[in-house]
Chain A
Amino acid sequence: MTDAVRSFDVLIVGAGPAGIAAACAASECGRTVGMVDDNPTPGGQNWRGEAPTPNTAESAAWYRRLLAAEIDFVRGASVFAQLGSGVLLAESADAIHELRYAKLILATGARERFLPFPGWTLPNVMGAGGLQALVKSGLPISGMRVIVAGSGPLLLAVAAYLKKHGARVLLIAEQATRARLVRFAAGLLRYPGKLFQGMEMRRSLSGIPYLSDCWTVSAEGKDKLERATLRQRQKIWTLECDYLACGFHLVPNTELAELLGCELREGSVRVDEWQETSVAGVFCAGEPTGIGGLELALAEGQITGYAAAGQPDTARPIFSERRKLRRFALLLEETFRLRKELKSLPGAETIVCRCEDVTFERLRRHNSWRAAKLETRCGMGPCQGRVCGAAAEFLFGWQAEPVRPPVFPASVEALAVSAPSGSGSSIRD
Chain B
Amino acid sequence: MPETCTLSIDGARVSVPQGTTVAAAVLLSGVPGLRRSVRGEQRGPLCGMGICFECRVTINGRPHARSCQVVCEHGMEVRTND
Contacts and interface: CB of A to CB of B under 8 A. Distances in A.
From B17, B48, B65, B71, residue with most partner A Cβ within 10 Å = B48
B32 A224 contact: yes
A411 to B, nearest CB: 9
Interface in B24-64: 24-25, 27-28, 32-33, 37-39, 41-54, 56, 64
Residue among B19, B25, B28, B52 with max Cβ neighbours from chain A (10 Å): B52
**Interface residues of B, dominant DSSP:** loop
Contact of A130 (B21, B45, B65): B45
Contacts of B54: 354
Contact of A383 (B16, B41, B52): B52
Size range of the interface on B?
35 or more
Contacts of A131: 48
A254 interface: no
Interface stretch (A133-141, A176-184, A297-305): A133-141
Contacts of B70: 40, 76, 93
Of the listed residues A138, A253, A351, A386, the one surrounded by the most CB atoms of chain B closer than 10 A to its CB is: A138
Contact of A134 (B33, B45, B50, B56): B45
Report the contact-size class of chain A (Cβ under 8 Å from the partner). 35 or more
B80 to A, nearest CB: 11
A335 to B, nearest CB: 23
Contact of A386 (B33, B39, B41, B52): B52
In the complex, which of the residues B23, B27, B49 has the most CB atoms of chain A within 10 Å of its own CB atom? B49
A114 interface: yes
A373 to B, nearest CB: 16
8 contacts: A126-B46, A130-B49, A138-B28, A223-B32, A223-B33, A224-B33, A383-B53, A387-B51
Interface of B: 16-17, 19-21, 23-25, 27-28, 32-33, 37-39, 41-54, 56, 64-65, 68-71
